[in-house]
Amino acid sequence: MEAVVATSSRPRAEGAPLGPGSVLWRIAGDGRGLMTGTSAGILQLLHPGLGAGVTDHSAFFTEPWARIIRSIPQIWGTIFAPDEADGDQRGRAIRDLHPEIKGVDHEGRRYHALEPDVFWWAHATFTWEFLRAAELFFPLPLTRAEKEQLYAESVTWYRRYGVSDRPVPLDLAAFETRFAEICAHELELTPAADWVLHPPETAPALPEAPLPLPLRPVEPVISWLRGENLRLVTLGALPDVVRRRFAIPWTHRDRLAFAATATAFRSVGATIGPRAFDVFFPPGTPHR
């Protein structure tokens, strides 16, 4: 499928190079960068188009964890690609899985996974995921300049998919404003999000089987994210406005436990997990 090309003459957001020295590689290559991933997943499911696509075109309700575990190496591979051409190839391969993901949502509105606002929101939640993880779980908070750098790198990352730039905010400040606006006014309690926030007793648990090879190095972090720990981190990392809008239970005791958890992870000075490149390109793969 051909890329969706932007036709507007509006200014474009500036990207920044990705590579071993980038902020995005540093945060995404640390196991703590995955800890806000389930929160990002909920923000995706709360979007009407994304929630409908998951409901209609995936096995999410029967094997939600398998879907997530399959997706992470593919998506993270677009970050850690060894060069621009490889990154573009990987990004477009993911894009080209989506042309038939379309239909009508639970309110009768048409959706398409490659509609730029829908596709960008999924990417925006990953950008938010890393900014939020760095804020909560890393020893030193990112400076404003580092956050701006990470955002510019995420713009480069988004462009690897070959989808229109139209919804992409011009800079970090514009991204923060737009993200907050969507959280406050445009997200909805879709059937998929409702299923996650109020899971039935029959909902599948995180499997105990070994993770796929690319995720084995961060298995200690993922294994810790089970049961009450998963609930605490997932709900605690969500934007306050999302918890309030959708009446997600969050007690004073929860706040204290979440703060203690965040403090414990911040106290770990060394990187949790391996070098990012080695996770997705183990010895023997091309371009090492």
pLDDT tens for the chain, residues 1 to 288: 444 444 456 789 999 999 988 999 999 988 888 889 999 999 999 999 999 999 898 877 777 667 777 788 889 899 999 899 999 999 999 999 999 999 999 899 999 999 999 999 999 999 999 999 999 999 999 999 999 999 999 999 999 999 999 999 999 999 999 999 999 999 999 999 999 998 776 555 555 555 555 555 556 666 666 678 889 999 999 999 999 999 999 999 999 999 999 998 888 765 665 454 455 554 444 443
Rounded CA gap, 116 and 118, in Å? 5
Which structural domain, as residue segments, surrounds residue 272?
23-197+208-280
Looking at the domain assignment, is residue 6 inside a domain? no
Looking at the domain assignment, is residue 189 inside a domain? yes
Looking at the domain assignment, is residue 203 inside a domain? no
- Non-local (6+) Cβ contacts of 262 within 8 A are 136, 137, 236
Looking at the domain assignment, is residue 266 inside a domain? yes
Residue 152: how many other CB atoms lie within 10 Å: 20
Candidates 201, 167, 220; CA nearest to 35 is: 220
- Looking at the structure of the chain, the number of domains it has is 1
Side chain identity, residue 205 = A
Side chain identity, residue 139 = P
Q: Would residue 247 be called left, alpha or beta, if left means φ above 0 and alpha means ψ between -120 and 50 degrees?
A: left
The pLDDT of residue 201 = 65
Looking at the domain assignment, is residue 273 inside a domain? yes
Looking at the domain assignment, is residue 286 inside a domain? no
The pLDDT of residue 214 = 52
Looking at the domain assignment, is residue 141 inside a domain? yes
- Own/partner contacts of 82-89, CB < 8 Å, gap of 24 or more, are 82/277, 82/281, 82/287, 82/288, 83/287, 86/287, 87/18, 87/157, 87/160, 88/160, 88/162
Looking at the domain assignment, is residue 74 inside a domain? yes
